[in-house]
Amino acid sequence: MAKTGRGMPTQRDYYEVLGVPRTASVKDIKAAYRRLAKKHHPDLNPGNKQAEERFKEVAEAFAVLSDADKRAKYDRGGHQAFEPGFDPFGGAGFDIHNFDTSFGMADLADLLSMFGAGGGGRSGTRGRTRSRRRGEDLRFEITLPFREAVAGTTRELRIPRQVLCQACGGSGTAGSQPCAGCGGAGRRAGEDTVKVRIPAGVADGDTIRVSGKGHSGVRSGPPGDSYVVVQVEPDPLFRREDRDLICEVPISITTAALGGTVQVPTLDGVSTITIPPGTRSGQKFRLRGRGVPASGSRPAGDLFAVIAIHPPKHLDARSRELLEELARLQS
């Protein structure tokens, strides 16, 4: 909050607060908010009142600029466009200590629910200690062979996480005292073994959500989720373009010139295709439905065999003679 020369408080421009131009898209506004909220969150800056106030300022700016109606009203009249007592959080209240520090995994609806749904208003350190809070999300990476990723599989993962304290049932208290088993948090260090189903056709960089397998919540709050990021190893025969597979098929000069048949590797064996006379290097042949298998509502992809003409590395005298004769005839 800035002050005028007379000591009267004035509000900074919301766009300036988030560091975005007035033409910024909702996506840009959300990205700026995510970055600043994480930077100034009180849990990451304990005891820093300046960071806490900055966080509140950023959250207020986002609450207005992320709402199309409020933003339009603000663009027309600035802060004066709102009546006295305007609540940017729509009357829901805003508790900075209930902010989800893993917002990068959440959508906008999740974000709005972080603004203290239920009208609790701002809370101090005492309220923060005793409040229920959603558990943090977790993120893991797994590496899959190319063909397992294409076909789908199931992997068993060991997930180290904060789990519900059995001694207090997650309440954090034993009688009227903090639980000795968890120090009052309602959770403790543990580990879960989870079977994760990898759907057919998962691509490199795809993320799979495992609901409820993040850290347990504080004081019986709901658990977070685990997000599994898939890394796919390259395959010696195939490369992938969306749902289609590409493979290189070598053929000889004579097959390219005269035509013939050639075997093409597929995910489940081999298939034979006919090469017409005069086939060029780089020419593609489509094998419909032989790419990435169908999954859910997504149909199977195709397999494209890309022709690569390989000349012989060693020629005997007769072969050289025939090729030289062919070259004279073609000149």
Is pLDDT of 98 > 50? no
Confidence category of residue 86, pLDDT binned at 50, 70, 90: low
- Residue whose token pair is 């207090």: 168
Is pLDDT of 184 > 80? yes
* pTM given for the model: 0.53
- The 3-state DSSP composition of the chain as helix, strand, coil percent (nearest 5) reads 30, 25, 45
pLDDT digits (tens, 9 = 90+) for 276-301: 999 999 999 999 999 999 887 889 99
- Residue whose token pair is 């000349």: 311
Is pLDDT of 7 > 50? no
Closest listed residue to residue 135, CA positions, set 213, 209, 59: 213
Burial class (CB in 10 A: 0-12, 13-18, 19+), 317: exposed
Give the model's pLDDT for residue 283.
Answer: 96
Closest listed residue to residue 75, CA positions, set 111, 115, 113, 21: 21
Angstrom distance (rounded) from CA 212 to CA 216: 8
- Residue-range domains of the chain with CATH: 1-131 (1.10.287.110), 134-234 (2.60.260.20), 238-330 (2.60.260.20)
Letter for the amino acid at 126? R
